[in-house]
């Protein structure tokens, strides 16, 4: 990968990171908000649940984005963490924080039964 391609990805990832940080901070506010009113409390419980689910997803994504930025720094960006093959440019264009090539990602998704489990967990199990 060329230097200018790398800096393009870095740009995209940094923007994504900033946006996610913003979202995660806002959600933390909703997730801990308490209401003294019982009716509000029910409403809040639903909102909280949703906020926590989104927060979960966004924190995961944020972790992936940070990992990708770290890989840009240490020069391993664009290489599959599992099989060490190059990740396709098309895949990187769609998912700049991809840590795995499409084949390894599919295996990971399958082994998770389509759930939103963490890839770290999968890596530990696959090791
Ligand atoms: Zn791979």
Residues lining ligand 1 (ion), CB within 5 A?
80, 82-83, 101, 104
Tens-digit pLDDT profile for residues 84-117: 999 999 999 999 999 999 999 999 888 876 444 4
Q: How far is the CA of 30 from the centre of ligand 1 (A)?
A: 38
Q: How far is the CA of 72 from the centre of ligand 1 (A)?
A: 18
Q: How far is the CA of 43 from the centre of ligand 1 (A)?
A: 44
123 pLDDT more than 80: no
6 pLDDT more than 60: yes
118 pLDDT more than 70: no
**63 burial class (0-12, 13-18, 19+ CB within 10 angstroms)?**
middle
pTM for the complete prediction? 0.75
**114 burial class (0-12, 13-18, 19+ CB within 10 angstroms)?**
exposed
Tens-digit pLDDT profile for residues 7-46: 999 999 999 999 999 998 887 776 666 667 777 778 778 8
Q: How far is the CA of 110 from the centre of ligand 1 (A)?
A: 14
Tens-digit pLDDT profile for residues 63-74: 999 999 999 999
Rounded to the nearest 10 degrees, the angle between the axes of helix 102-111 and helix 119-126 is 90
pLDDT at 127: 46
Question: Minimal CA–CA distance to 2: which of 85, 77, 66?
Answer: 77
Q: How far is the CA of 32 from the centre of ligand 1 (A)?
A: 39
């Amino acid at each position: 990968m060329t230097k200018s391609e790398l800096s393009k990805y870095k740009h995209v990832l940094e923007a994504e990171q900033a946006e996610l940080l913003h979202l995660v901070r806002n959600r933390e506010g909703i997730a801990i908000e308490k209401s003294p009113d019982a009716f509000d409390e029910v409403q809040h419980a639903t909102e909280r649940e949703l906020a926590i689910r989104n927060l979960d997803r966004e924190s995961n994504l944020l972790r992936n984005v940070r990992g990708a930025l770290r890989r840009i720094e240490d020069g391993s960006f664009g290489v599959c963490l599992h099989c060490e093959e190059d990740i396709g440019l098309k895949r990187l264009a769609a998912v700049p924080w991809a840590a795995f090539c499409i084949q390894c990602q599919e295996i990971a998704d399958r082994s998770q039964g389509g759930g939103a489990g963490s890839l770290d967990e999968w890596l530990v199990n696959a090791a």
